[in-house]
Structure 1
Amino acid sequence: MAEKVVILGAGESGVGAALLAVKQGYEVWVSDAGAIADHYRQELQAAHIPFEEHKHSYDKIFEADWIIKSPGIAEAAPVMQAVRSKSKRVISEIEWAYRFCNQATIIAITGTNGKTTTTALIHYLLKNSGIQAACVGNIGNSFARQVATSPEPCYVVEVSSFQLDDIETFHPHVAVLLNITEDHLDRYGSMEAYAAAKFRITENQTAEDYFIYCLDDPYTRKFFKKNIHSQLLPFSIMEQVKQGAYMQDQQIHIRIHDDECILSADELSLRGKHNIYNSMAAGIAGKTMNIRNEKIRESLATFKGIEHRLEYVATVRGVEFINDSKATNVNSVWYALECMKKPVILIMGGIDKGNDYEIIRGLVKEKVKAIVCLGKDNRKINEAFKDDVQLMVNTTSMKEAVEAAFHFASPGDVVLLSPGCASFDLFKNYEDRGRQFKQAVKDL
């Protein structure tokens, strides 16, 4: 008799896990406390996978041999409290996918900021070098869906701390930790717990593997795990390292063993200090895969960036519009503002995740002419910046926000959507928010 797999949550990771479980011969049932999106419901029906929505039937959940938890379900949720009380075995979708990926090479990227850009950049680097690889995780197809429908010899996986919470054997050959900054404290309660979740990316690595991390990141240094067994490859723009990457006199040095790739920071296609770090991490990952130096240089110089991350949209009557909808925490806003060379009209707001706006106060005073708040409750932003900008307005739709920002802007200014918050008060997700922004700009 087939083992029973129950999947909690029917988004991209949940449906991907369900498809993989069916392919592997398990008896599968999917349960979602909310409404299942139409396209996912149709996929489940087409694959003859039974499901429920708008509720969790605990009696059926407790029949499971395996429970696969979607990353969006918090440990404090009633269903998880019930599951834990029964000592049921719970794993994440990336753990489930890993078990069936047949000795493929895994490159996994985590960090509070820059994950998606760095994941896409590493994938581009591999593809540009003739290495067949899939780009999966938070960036597109779930890892499980890819393993179920189109397995590859190599996977570049963007992983969040939520996905790492429930791993057991997940073992990336190359693990990348970009940074650890304050985020998701509503879920973890402390920076120490959040950092511990991030460092789980290394827990199954051996001396044959690589761990790439930012030596300049204060929280990474503070909470660095002593029991990491993989080869350490730090990157830094503040000090030289023997192995990994560093910058000296605007020259980036990427070195593993005795082989070194050198390129000018001016050659990088991505701008801003944070993207020097992202490019360093990607370059080191390329070296671990034995990619030639000229291909690393070429790829870092020609990568085009990703949608919703500092994405140029249009220039309207001399005003430039930039879509940074993927900036869902304050540190991401800091990175965006740090890149800006023109006066900024900043559109920000949404669901606050315990944000500390003090970290961007200096950049707001220096660069921001006006703030357009976009959200159902903007009190915290209003309170934080009331003494720092002369113009501030509250809006509750993207059309209203873009029109207000355009009204405040003069030729030579930039309107920057960099919300610093989750999107779920007014939008389906950050992609929906970014696309609505781009449409509203086109409608001006």
Structure 2
Amino acid sequence: MKTINNYKNKKVLVLGLAKSGFAAAKLLHGLGANVIVNDMKPLEENETAQMLVELGINVVCGSHPLALVDESLFAIIKNPGIPYTNPLLQKASTLHIPILTEVELAYQISEAPFIGITGSNGKTTTTTLIYEMLKVGKKNPLIAGNIGTVACEVAQEAKNDNYIVTELSSFQLMGIEEFKPAISVFLNLFEAHLDYHGTKEEYGKAKANIFKAQTEDEFAVANLDDQEVSQFVEHSNATKVYFSTKQTIPNGACIVDNVLQFKGEGIINIKDIALPGEHNLGNILAAVSVSKLIGVDNHSIIHVLRTFTGVKHRLQYIGTKNERDFYNDSKATNILATSAALSAFTKPIVLLAGGLDRGNDFDDLLPYMNNVKALVTFGQTAEKLINIAQKAGIKTIEHVDNVEKAVPVAYNLSNPNDVILLSPACASWDQYKTFEVRGDIFTEAVHKLK
């Protein structure tokens, strides 16, 4: 960890707790800052806040008093999920107080270079693939961000021979200034989080912040098949490395005659890749690009591609019962992810879907529902999904209270050789704290089936 004096004796507000706020508050306290933590959850119910009080940190809980923000503030470190419409943040903006996320703090103290991965879909899979390739290739990776430990906790332990492989959301990337990954990855852009960003363009700009501090000494790995991603990366000063599943790229990653190539060098035939789903080929090309740029040998890359079958909650095979295959794709929190999951199967599908209503319609699912024989839906978006299923000509539609109740209903609607797929196309927050909780409940309900 670098020794920095940026925050010594400076007044810093940590807005919102959860894992990232807790880690940031402790780190800032250790760096000598005068830390104030503000969280909506009352102190008597807030175990995390109580732990900070025991460390001697000033904690204000139960409301967001505007008086916390004034000219004496050096910076605000905010929880990524708190929108910029929050009155404290709006006041801070008028006072030109920097509003950061803990990723920026992690970068400032880290001895190790970062590899940053963003995109609407495939971030977790790609981040995990890169981590595994670097680990097998003996490049000393650490994993951080949405997929693992909070970045500023990892950065405190990282040495200069490590790489911090970090999954980054648009929310996190809106709160950076100097953050400069040695290699950035922009996988794709799809209409998502409109309740937070307002428009797809603003969402894309937030993602593209991953490039903004990079120079030609760093690399930007980007999807040539996604026109909007390509347009955003063109404005980057980084050295650009493209990947494509559709085009031949002499200086990037692509597929030629079913062989995955990087800069013209054949690495592996795609039939030997263990990870299922055509949609994962882009994620694999991105991961190979990063690994080759760092100097991972082909043998290590091939080993990972032949053995890596996916991550939990992302098209995760749960098991087979009475000739029905069960898959947990709870991490499919938007339409594109569910479209990809539906495209991965040729068998008849009983689809479990629904969740938080973010204002999307679901018409973009229609071309992918040909194999869906039945829909079991739940959550705020149930009526919208019922309408789409009817448009798709699906005759069997059931509306239930939650995922746990959906599993036995889906089983009763299925036949041998069917796929029973949880792929919600929605965030979980209307009913479940996280998509992981939702996926675990699905998995447990599958195991309870008789």
TM score, norm. by length of structure 1: 0.94
- The CA deviation string for residues 81-121 of structure 1, in whole angstroms up to 9 with x for no partner, is 2322333221121111111102x111100000000110011
Q: Where do 1:245-284 residues align within 5 Å?
A: 245-255=253-263, 260-284=265-289
Measured on the aligned residues, the alpha-carbon RMSD in Å equals 1.9
Aligned: 1:330 with 2:335: yes
Gaps of 5+ in 2: 1-7
Structure 2 residue identity aligned to 1:60 = L
CA offset at residue 434 of structure 1?
0.6
Structure 2 distance, partners of 1:213, 1:21, is: 34
Cα distance change on mapping 1:78 and 1:324 into 2, 3 Å: same
Aligned: 1:114 with 2:122: yes
Residue 65 of structure 2 corresponds to which residue in structure 1?
57
Q: Where do 1:72-151 residues align within 5 Å?
A: 72-102=81-111, 104-148=112-156
Among all aligned residue pairs of Structure 1 and Structure 2, give the percentage whose two residues are the same amino acid: 35
- The CA deviation string for residues 65-91 of structure 1, in whole angstroms up to 9 with x for no partner, is 110111101112233223223332211
Cα distance change on mapping 1:149 and 1:293 into 2, 3 Å: closer
- The CA deviation string for residues 294-345 of structure 1, in whole angstroms up to 9 with x for no partner, is 1111122222421111111121222111111111000000111111121111
Structure 2 distance, partners of 1:371, 1:168, is: 45
Asked if structure 2 preserves the Cα contact closer than 8 Å seen for 1:117 and 1:278, the reply is yes
Structure 2 distance, partners of 1:135, 1:3, is: 30
- The CA deviation string for residues 150-183 of structure 1, in whole angstroms up to 9 with x for no partner, is 6673200101111111211000010000001111
CA offset at residue 46 of structure 1?
5.3
Structure 2 distance, partners of 1:35, 1:319, is: 46
Gaps of 5+ in 1: none
Residue 229 of structure 1 corresponds to which residue in structure 2?
237
Cα distance change on mapping 1:264 and 1:175 into 2, 3 Å: same
Q: Where do 1:201-350 residues align within 5 Å?
A: 201-221=210-230, 223-255=231-263, 260-350=265-355
Asked if structure 1 preserves the Cα contact closer than 8 Å seen for 2:66 and 2:87, the reply is no
- The CA deviation string for residues 7-41 of structure 1, in whole angstroms up to 9 with x for no partner, is 11101211121122122221222112246886634
Residue 25 of structure 1 corresponds to which residue in structure 2?
32
Structure 1 distance, partners of 2:338, 2:193, is: 16
Structure 1 distance, partners of 2:55, 2:334, is: 37
Asked if structure 1 preserves the Cα contact closer than 8 Å seen for 2:332 and 2:423, the reply is yes
Residue 174 of structure 1 corresponds to which residue in structure 2?
183
Structure 2 distance, partners of 1:337, 1:416, is: 9
Residue 3 of structure 2 corresponds to which residue in structure 1?
none
Asked if structure 1 preserves the Cα contact closer than 8 Å seen for 2:145 and 2:166, the reply is yes
- The CA deviation string for residues 262-312 of structure 1, in whole angstroms up to 9 with x for no partner, is 211112121112211111100010011111111111122222421111111
Structure 1 distance, partners of 2:375, 2:127, is: 31
Residue 370 of structure 1 corresponds to which residue in structure 2?
374
Of 376, 383, 393, which residue of structure 2 is paired with 1:379? 383
Asked if structure 2 preserves the Cα contact closer than 8 Å seen for 1:423 and 1:429, the reply is yes
Residue 424 of structure 1 corresponds to which residue in structure 2?
429
